[in-house]
Amino acid sequence: MIAGELYALAAAICWSVAAVFYKKGIGAGAIPAVLIRTFFAMLFLLILYILLRGGHFDFTLAGFAFLNLGGLLRLILGGAAYMKGLENISVSRFIPILFTFPLLTILLSAVLLDEKIRPEVIAGTVLIVIGVWILSREHNSRGEKNVRLGVSLAVLAAFLYAFSIVATKTGLKDVDPLQSALISMPIPLALLYFVYSISESPGAIFKFKKEAYILLGLGGIAGMGFGSYFFFVSLTLIGAAKATSLAAITPFLSSMMALVTLKEKLNPVLVLGTGATIAGVWVIL
């Protein structure tokens, strides 16, 4: 089902573009960055949904619960680890480590969702993970603050993303992808804003530079708006294991974009890791 594969690759492109925007706008801080990107992504999806569906919602309570659990793990907890990690290390180091989560997702999908894992998916995922591991080994350290902390946060985010995908796939049984992307955001966003308001102040989120809102907002629309929708469609068409394996092309795309837009360094290690990642995607397809 080639459409499902194309949706997964489209999600990877959107996530790669988003990572560049996040890195440029991360000066606002990790938690504010999560709040800003999630708000703009939710607003974009709400407008799109109203235009396409006329504001009619149709979902089950179980679907709503699983999607919000997935949103909490992915958007808030995983998002905070994501942004804090980007504060400490480069895009070219962080994203490859983060995208080791397909292996975790494959295991969880087999155990919890009873998905059948084809040998090609396993082989391709192994190649992709080898590629992203190579990509993480050696990069330009310019601008990196704390490599050990950044790597630890990338690993934590990978675990959170894997569990989130399993919860989301469960919720997608009862809710269509566009509606799912939208309804997975409001409750996690409200919870995070409540916690942030207590620790700072209710108006603290409105005190950053306009550039931060623009960059993080564009990143949210690209990654959490388009990216989440494309990925959710892929989940419904080809399953969690294959969708996450294909989406693991993101490190290669992110590294290429970071090379051009963020002036991160190209070296033989990056080329070798990129080759392994592309080979993995080819095997899965």
> Which residue range is the domain that position 116 belongs to?
2-284
Please tell me the distance from the alpha carbon of residue 137 to that of residue 131, in angstroms, as a whole number.
10
pTM listed for this prediction? 0.80
What is the four-CA torsion angle of 40, 44, 45, 48, rounded to 10 degrees?
170
The answer to whether 144 and 93 are in contact (CB under 8 A) is yes
Two tokens, residue 277: 């990642």
Q: Stretch 62-90: mean pLDDT, rounded?
A: 89
Q: How many domains, the chain?
A: 1
102-156 residue pLDDT tens: 777 777 777 777 777 778 878 888 887 887 777 666 555 666 788 788 888 988 9
